[in-house]
A and B are shown apart, each in its own frame.
Chain A
Amino acid sequence: MNRTPIEDKTAIAGIAWTKISRASGKSVMALAAEACLGAIEDAGLTVRDVDGFVEYQSNDSVGTMDVADVLGVPRINWYTDIRGGGNYGSGSVMLAAMAVASGACEVCVVYRALNGRSGHRFGRDAPTTQGRREQWMLPYGYMVPPQWLAMWCRTHMAKYGTTYEHLGAIAVTQRHNATLNPRAIFQRPMTMEDYLAARWINDPFRLFDCTAEVDGACAVVVTTAERARSLRHKPVYIKGFAYGTQGRPSWEHWDDMSEMYARYIGQQLWQRTGLTAKDVDVAEIYDCFTYSLLGQLEGYGFCKTGEGGPFCASGAISLTGQIPTNTHGGLLSEGYIHGMNHNCEAVSQLRGDAGPRQVKGARVAMVTGGAGPHGGALIYHTK
């Protein structure tokens, strides 16, 4: 596979977050509008400059045209509303970059907004067994991602001897990062004892193996490289991306659940960008659960297959380690903005704005979206 033809043709020019909380007291529209306007203003632009939108959701958010109407965007040249999961944490920005690079639009806002804690809780839609997978799962009480990823995790533990403490090391490390992040929903550190004492959710997962549901929104502005260079911040270029899988893209029928989509998408990503895992200075990896991180670290080549547990326990993923990972605390400890927040943190790091979390000299950042049988990643860099 060749280098991506749109390498460095687009860049992130603006980012924004709302407050992350357990009860926003606001409508999802208010959160979306605040994040979008914040990112537009961060770029040094106005709504009159915006001509594209992307959002993704699990039936818990507001659509692009409603947001465009609320903000007063006078004309739109391209827009996409996606019903989909965390893989769109990278996929949504990828799509915006493709639209901008193709000339379909020039200034594209990408957002994720939800009252994920106080409002519509993920996985709590009145479940129906009419879905293709659901009729095989719901009769047996198998329903939500904390169960699916726990099921996958067990195979890694059985095959490689990965332990609860290995998973705990991920949770503890990311919680430490969150204590340096004023936005994070968790502000207090956690010890391994705290992690192990927490209640079971789905063995092998305990409470802190699971992401923290929150209310909040994040947005980024994607524009052309040339336009970005004329705006407020140093551009964070989108160098390349990969998105998909190899194998049965099925949560129940994947061939080897001790591996993830990253075993293939990693290869594609490095070929598309001409990089390797060693070139990445900071990695914001989709961490709906601790094991989601472990599986992707192995697949992308940050450590050898099977060694993810000891790797995470060694300090390698800490802010001062070999590959600082989820420097904001991730979905586990900053909060579950469905992976959109990983893009904002990556850009913040590359701008040099991450304060006490700053990875010194960070020039190349990776963001992934998704876990399990399919997903994707983006590479950002500065020049």
Chain B
Amino acid sequence: MTNSQAYKKPLPHPDEDTRDYWEGLRRGEIVLKRCNKCGYYIHYPAPVCRQCQSWDIGNAKVSGRGTVYSFIVTHHLVAPGFQDGGPYVVALVQLDEQADLRLPTNIVGCKPEDVRVGMRVAPVFEKVTDEVT
């Protein structure tokens, strides 16, 4: 029996451009798309480089460490799977590798009232089902 029945939050639907990222998380790695020609990290993943328009795109591991660029505390609970748990933080984390690399995420291990713009953060990997981390 998997625990996927217990997990109520939306699961990602990986596609051809995003599959490598979600599979990377299962290994405890943060894998982003990176242009092999100019080195630009492409996020959200895309098949072409927005900086040099090359189609020669590969994967690159990043540390996942970064800074809280901004955050909100959601009190109005309408998002599916988030309606029972009380107010929660959504942050845009700016990764150290590039200024426009931002990941929407929740902040765990910290009270909502202690989150600050500019706070340093590191990734936490949460296996929520057998298939998804």
Contacts and interface: CB of A to CB of B under 8 A. Distances in A.
Interface of A: 123-124, 127-130, 132-133, 135-144, 146-147, 150-152, 154-155, 158, 199-205, 248, 250, 252-253, 255, 257
Given A141-B81, A141-B106, A248-B100, A202 B13 contact: no
Given A124-B78, A151-B90, 12 more contacts: A127-B10, A127-B80, A129-B11, A129-B13, A135-B15, A135-B18, A143-B78, A146-B76, A147-B90, A151-B92, A203-B73, A252-B104
Nearest to B132: A139
Contacts of A142: 79, 90, 104
17 contacts: A127-B10, A128-B13, A135-B15, A141-B9, A141-B74, A141-B81, A141-B106, A142-B90, A144-B79, A151-B70, A151-B92, A155-B69, A158-B118, A200-B73, A203-B72, A248-B50, A248-B100
Majority SS at the chain B contact face: loop
Q: How large is the interface on B (under 10, 10 to 19, 20 to 34, 35 or more residues)?
A: 35 or more
B39 interface: no
Given A135-B13, A155-B69, A155-B117, A201 B18 contact: no
B72 A139 contact: no
Given A135-B12, A136-B103, A255-B99, A150 B72 contact: yes
A72 B18 CA distance: 48
Contact of A202 (B9, B18, B72, B106): B72
Given A252-B104, A255-B99, A130 B44 contact: no
Contacts of A257: 69-70
B24 interface: no
Contacts of A127: 10, 79-80
B97 to A, nearest CB: 14
Interface of B: 9-15, 18, 43-44, 50, 69-76, 78-82, 87-88, 90, 92, 99-100, 102-106, 117-118
Contacts of A132: 44
9 closest residue pairs by CB, A with B: A141-B82, A200-B75, A203-B73, A138-B10, A141-B79, A158-B117, A135-B12, A201-B76, A150-B72
A128 B106 CA distance: 19
Contact of A143 (B69, B79, B88): B79
A129 B72 contact: no
Contacts of B72: 147, 150-151, 154, 202-205
A205 B73 CA distance: 9
A249 to B, nearest CB: 11
Contact of B102 (A144, A200, A204, A253): A253
Contacts of A144: 78-79
A142 B105 CA distance: 8
A154 B70 contact: yes
Contact of B70 (A130, A140, A158, A248): A158
B39 to A, nearest CB: 17
Contacts of B12: 129, 135-136, 138-139
Given A127-B80, A141-B79, A147-B74, A255 B9 contact: no
Contacts of B70: 151-152, 154-155, 158, 257
